Amino acid sequence: MDIGILGTGVVARTLGGRLDRLGHDVLLGTRDPAQTLARTEPDRFGAPPFARWQEAHREVGLGTFAQAAAHGELVVNATAGAASLDALRSAGPETLAGKVLLDVANPLDPSSGFPPALAVSNTDSLAEQIQRLVPGARLVKSLNTVNASVMVDPAALADAEHSIFVSGDDAGAKAMVTDLLRSFGWRDVVDLGDLSTARGPEMLMPLWLRLFGALGTPAFNVKVVR
């Protein structure tokens, strides 16, 4: 499948690399590809410059946000939450109309110190903000509750005996995303319901950040025990 990924950070790279290995045709999108490729320093999280990552992932293309959106039958929002709405405006709401849009971002407010607070929560969510901006997209929220490495390889943690959530208004889009999740190795995919249910997984982030602190590793997840 042709897949566009908005973003070039660790989440976008990890998803892009995994999807490429699974045989998909992946194009990452960024605001200014030339600038992204020209970087020679690690980013603020210590990730190596994009050009070095791409040397090991020659099959994964790089274009603008709009090119990635046009490329994908499925488009993934893997930008930082604070940059997501701008990225989607650049990607083009009309280009995304009718496409499945998988949003994996968390609306962390980088100006709020550590641990960061959420920029939107409780009575609204980043997912709902995105849907209002891109009303024609078939939006699904998922994967935002785990670290990038857990996203693409859940079996590396407790033999995948843990849970991932999907929220969205479009049953067909949720089915496509669920198939993709299963191809990553996810076994317990919990459909929470319509897109407003994304508030729940987004509001898990404050607990996730504290568990990260308490456990000393981002390689964890929750299992819904019932």
Site for a second copy in 70-129 (CB under 8 A): 112, 117-118, 121-123
Site for a second copy in 123-142 (CB under 8 A): 123
User: If DSSP codes are grouped into helix, strand and coil, which group holds residue 28?
Assistant: strand
Rounded Cα distance, 32 and 34, in Å: 6
CB of 67 to a second copy, least distance (A): 35
Among 21, 52, 132, 210, binds a second copy (CB under 8 A): 210
As to burial, measured by CB atoms within 10 angstroms (0-12 exposed, 13-18 middle, 19+ buried), residue 44 is exposed
Pick the closer one to a second copy by CB: 25 or 191: 191
Tokens found for residue 137:
């997209």
Among 13, 141, 162, 174, binds a second copy (CB under 8 A): 162
Stretch of residues binding a second copy (CB under 8 A), selected from 8-16, 79-87, 95-103, 202-210 = 202-210
3-state secondary structure 187-212: CEEEEEECHHHHHHHHCCHHHHHHHH
Q: What is the DSSP letter of 118?
A: B
Tokens found for residue 101:
């849009």
Rounded Cα distance, 80 and 126, in Å: 11
CA torsion sign for 109, 111, 36, 32 is positive
Among 161, 171, 172, 182, binds a second copy (CB under 8 A): 161
CB of 196 to a second copy, least distance (A): 9
Q: Which helix (H) or strand (E) holds 164?
A: strand 163-168
Site for a second copy in 35-74 (CB under 8 A): none
Q: Residue 189 interacts with a second copy (CB under 8 A)?
A: no
CB of 34 to a second copy, least distance (A): 38
Q: Which helix (H) or strand (E) holds 156?
A: none
| Contacts with a second copy, residue ranges (CB under 8 A) | 112, 117-118, 121-123, 157-158, 161-162, 165, 190-193, 197, 199-201, 203-204, 206-211, 213-215, 217, 219-226
